[in-house]
Every structure is written in C-alpha cells, then in structure tokens.
Amino acid sequence: MVLTLRNLRIGVVGLGYVGLPLAVEFGKRFRTTGYDLKVARVADLSEGRDSTLEVTKDELKAANRLEFTSTLTDLKACRVYIVTVPTPIDKYNRPDLSPLEKASAALGSILKKGDVVVYESTVYPGGTEEICVPLLEKHSGLKFNRDFFCGYSPERINPGDKQHRLPSIRKVTSGSTPDVATFVDSLYAAIITAGTYKASSIKVAEAAKVIENTQRDINIALINELALIFNRLNIDTEEVLLAAGTKWNFLPFRPGLVGGHCIGVDPYYLTHKAQEVGYHPEIILAGRRLNDNMAAYVTSEILKLMANKRLRIKDSRVLVMGLAFKENCPDLRNSKVIDVIRELRDYNAQVDVYDPWIDRKEAQHEYGVKPLAALGKTRYDAVIMAVGHKQFKDMGVKAVRKLLKPAGVLYDIKHIFRRDEVDGRL
C-alpha cells in the first residue's frame, strides 16, 4: 500500500443525494472530480445549481478543488474512486445491482496499479467482494489486493436534514487489507468532524449499514401495527404514543408510509442474502409486509369515511397533498404516496397531486403523475395530507378545509393537525 493523503486525487462516481455532498467536502481539501452519467446534472452543478437541494451555491463555490464531468476518461488521473450509485430493488423486491455493476465495470476500464475503490452504495454483506471486485478484476486485468484495493464506507445521508450533515455524522470505514483500512479511515477522517469508526472488515461495515435501516423499519412496523389495533379500539394512536413517551426509554417512532431509498429498501438486501445462505427471516419480512400494506389500509379508511358521509367514490375528486417520500425534501425515490394514489384510482377516483418541493417533470417520468403547479379553485370530496411539508403546516387547517366541498373528508396521514380538526388520521 503506497497511497498517502498528500497530493491525492479523488473521483466520486454518482452525484446524487449521497455523492454530491461527499464530493463537495472532499473538494474543499483534495483535488476531486465528480462524475455522473447525466449530462444535464453535470451542467447544472458546474453552474452552481443542485436540484436535490442538499448543497447550496455557496457550498459548491467553497469546494474550490472540485470539478464535474460526465466523461469517464476524466477520472483517469484519480487514485481513489468512491462509488455512490443507487442500489434499488426491482418489482419483486429483489436487489437490483445493475447500477453498481455498471459502475464497477466502467471503473475497471480505467483502474491502475495501486488504486483504491471505496464503495458507499448499500449492499448485502459480501456484496462488495462478491459482485464488485470480480468486475474490477475482469475489466482492468489487475489482481485484487495485489494491484488494487477496496474499501467500504456506508452512506448515512438523510435527505432534507439540515442539522445532520455529512461532516457531523460519524462514519464507518473499512478496507480490504489492514493497511487499506487505515488509509480509508484517515481519508474520511480528513473531512468528517464527528469522527470515524474503523470496522474489522468490509463485510462488517456492509452488515452495519443494512441493519441500521432494518432496525428502523421493524420499529415503524410495530407502531403501524399498533395504529391498526388502536383504530379498531377507537383510541387515537398519537395520544397513546405521547403518553407512553413520558417513559425515558420509550422510542419515539410514529406510524406512516415507509418509503424512500433506505428504510423501504435495505431490509430486502439483508433478507435476500439470508435466504441465499439458507435462512428464511421471519420478523424482518413480516415488518416489510406490514409497512408495504399501509397504503392499502390508509386508502380503505379514507373510502370508509367518504362512504359514511354518503360521498360518491366513483368519479370523486381527491387531492393528495405531497408526493415526496418525506417532508421538506424533493426526493421522490420509492415514495409510498404513489401507492395511495393508485389505490384511489382503482376505485375510479379523480386524483390531483400537489407538492411544492418536487420536480413535476420527474414525477411524471417516474410515476406517470402530473402534479398541479399550484392549488386552484377546485373543491374536493377528500383531501389527504400525505407529506408533512412546512408549507402545508403553515397553511393551517382552515385554509386546507377551504379546498373541500361542504361534506368533504380531510384525512391526515402525517398528524399535521389535531385529531379534532380532521375527519381521520393514521
């Protein structure tokens, strides 16, 4: 191992929610090249515009050693490559590693002796060495742990969170040899003010990542199940959780739709690997099934409320407030709000969507939904508060109710308003 931090050049592959903040921080200290396949994305970043809203124009300007490209050969001068491409699931909830495989094959074509490739993309334990390393070897003609080396440092980016930023979140690191592990750890320590944690192996670091979100998924599934029970008992779930939360060690989870690029995805990576080695997970998959079915439950509750008010469901007008997977964020990845919209449309309801945070063209491309540019004078049979954006909270319940017909239903998935102000909530 001969690399040192002095005069190091870094290439960051993938400039989304994870890669861009990373490239910016490294670009303040090291010569850094950010690479993305999307030419338009590179053009925007080069002009100081970030559509994900994770990095400001001033922050981009402060990274004065950072440049952007969509040309792979521009990465040839780099000695460390950090891969931050997405690792989604397919329609059967199986890991889709094609972006990671393509990135590894591409890097293999420009890899040099002594280079280090660090992966941040979420994989199952063993994924880096079983999937990525063989592709690097195949396309480079080099030998792993002799000619080139690998590391793994799982991403912990929380889209839309302006308090927990990359430098202030402790970073888990690892490497394919002890020397590489030390180098990777020192590399991240140069930009992470919260400190680093050097795992004993790449597999341990990979496993740590998938269980972080698996744990949250199971906890939310428990609260969702409690919400189903309390609803049948005619008890308000929020009131129960507030009462229980007076105990010092009660965990503050809330019910809801579980989407996004992590919590609704990562558990399937772990269960895939578990089944591959002969173990069928019980609790993890049960939690996933429950969370994945919450959209159908929410829709059924809304339809019951409409029926009780003698509102016609077929050809009814419904407004869904919010499409992003979480509040105050434009991230549309794996949003479960779309499941509610599709369920309503299956009953022939006419559904409008309004979300001031998202890119409307992206919503149409990803989900076939054309969101409203602004709220108009249409009056709806039902309004669904699907995402807790600040703008929706600031509107207040009176303004939201003005969007309804006199007998309309206001359903609050995100507990934006008080129980006595809405017709139903999760």
Closest CA to 373 of 390, 387, 353, 393: 353
Gap between the Cα atoms of 46 and 146, Å rounded? 37
Annotate 109-137 with DSSP letters as a single string: TT--TT-EEEE-S---TTHIIIIIHHHHH
Contact 190, 167 (CB under 8 A): no
Gap between the Cα atoms of 39 and 324, Å rounded? 24
- Note if 262 is an active site residue: yes
Contact 256, 336 (CB under 8 A): no
Token pair 């397919």 in the structure block, residue: 90
| Catalytic, out of 78, 132, 150, 262 | 262
Burial class (CB in 10 A: 0-12, 13-18, 19+), 47: exposed
Residue 315: Cβ within 10 Å count: 10
Give, as one character, the DSSP assignment of residue 91: T
Rounded to the nearest 10 degrees, the angle between the axes of helix 237-244 and helix 202-232 is 120
Catalytic positions are 262
